[in-house]
C-alpha cells in the first residue's frame, strides 16, 4: 500500500508479515515463510468501497494462488453476492468483528448484525471457511469497543495499541478489531506454511481448539 490513505492496510500487513530482522517491528510471520498479496479494494480518505470491488479482489486473490484472506473492514451492506463469494471460495477468511456503535461501545452482533462479520454466519455459526475476531486487551479482557457474539465471533486476539508499519517507512499504534484480525491471519499462515499436511479447515480447527 502507498499513500496516506493506506495506513490501515499497511498496518495490518505489517502485523501479518513484517520482516523479522529489519530492526523495526516483527510480524507474526515473515516473507521467509509466507507471501503477502496486497490488493486495494477500498480507498479514499475514509477507506470506503463497494461489495463488488471487494468480491473482485477476493476472486483475483484466489485465482492467483492466495489461500488465506484477511478482511479488516466492516459493512452494513453485506449483499447476497458478497456472502456467496465467501461461501463459494476455497480460501480461509479472517474477518474483523467490528468496533461497536457510534459511541465505540461494542455490542452483540448475534442480535444486531450491523457488520459483515455477523452476516457471514448462519444461526448456528456454520460458515466453514471464516474465523471472526474480536479485540483483546493486554490483560485478557475484551476491549469495550469490540463487538462480540456467541455465534458470530470465534475468538479474540490482541488489537489495542498495536504497533505496526505505516506508509513512509514509519510505524504507528492503532487499535480495533482490524488490528486483531491480522494477528490470527498471521498465525494461520505460519501454521499452514509449516504443516503442509493440514488443510485450511484443519488450520481453523487448530486455532479455535487450542
CA distance 158 to 136: 5
What pLDDT is stored for residue 3 in this prediction? 47
What pLDDT is stored for residue 191 in this prediction? 97
Bridge-based pairing state of the strands 68-71 and 162-166? unpaired
Bridge-based pairing state of the strands 155-158 and 170-174? unpaired
CA distance 36 to 31: 8
pLDDT band of 4, cuts 50, 70, 90: low
What pLDDT is stored for residue 112 in this prediction? 81
CA distance 163 to 26: 10
Query: What are the DSSP E strand ranges found in 33-154?
Result: 68-71, 92-96, 130-136
Q: Is the dihedral of CA 158, 55, 30, 172 positive or negative?
A: negative
What pLDDT is stored for residue 161 in this prediction? 97
CA distance 175 to 137: 10
Digit-coded pLDDT (tens) for 88-129:
999 999 999 999 998 999 999 988 876 776 667 665 556 789
CA distance 10 to 73: 14
Predicted structure pTM score = 0.93
Computed on alpha carbons and rounded to an integer, the radius of gyration of the chain in Å comes to 16
Digit-coded pLDDT (tens) for 114-171:
677 666 766 555 678 999 999 999 999 999 999 999 989 999 999 999 999 999 999 9
Digit-coded pLDDT (tens) for 57-93:
999 999 999 999 999 988 776 788 988 999 999 999 9
Digit-coded pLDDT (tens) for 10-52:
999 999 999 998 788 999 999 888 999 999 998 877 778 888 9
Amino acid at each position: 500500500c502507498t499513500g496516506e490513505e493506506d495506513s490501515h492496510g499497511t498496518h495490518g500487513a505489517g502485523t501479518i508479515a513484517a520482516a523479522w530482522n529489519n530492526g523495526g517491528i516483527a510480524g507474526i510471520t515473515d516473507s521467509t515463510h509466507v507471501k503477502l498479496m496486497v490488493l486495494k479494494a477500498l480507498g479514499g480518505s475514509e477507506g470506503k468501497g463497494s461489495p463488488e470491488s471487494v468480491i473482485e479482489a477476493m476472486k483475483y486473490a484466489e485465482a492467483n494462488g492466495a489461500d488465506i484472506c484477511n478482511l479488516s473492514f466492516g459493512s452494513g451492506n453485506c449483499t447476497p453476492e458478497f456472502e456467496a463469494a465467501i461461501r463459494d471460495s476455497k480460501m480461509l477468511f479472517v474477518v474483523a468483528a467490528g468496533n461497536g456503535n457510534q459511541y465505540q461501545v461494542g455490542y452483540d452482533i448475534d442480535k444486531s448484525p450491523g457488520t459483515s462479520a455477523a452476516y457471514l454466519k448462519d444461526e448456528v455459526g456454520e460458515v466453514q471457511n471464516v474465523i471472526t475476531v474480536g479485540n483483546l486487551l493486554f490483560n485478557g479482557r475484551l476491549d469495550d469497543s469490540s463487538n462480540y457474539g456467541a455465534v458470530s465471533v470465534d475468538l479474540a486476539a490482541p488489537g489495542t495499541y498495536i504497533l505496526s508499519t505505516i506508509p513512509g517507512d514509519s510505524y504507528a499504534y492503532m487499535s480495533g478489531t482490524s488490528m486483531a484480525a491480522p494477528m490470527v491471519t498471521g498465525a494461520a499462515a505460519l501454521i499452514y506454511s509449516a504443516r503442509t499436511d493440514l488443510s485450511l479447515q484443519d488450520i481453523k480447527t487448530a486455532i479455535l481448539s487450542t
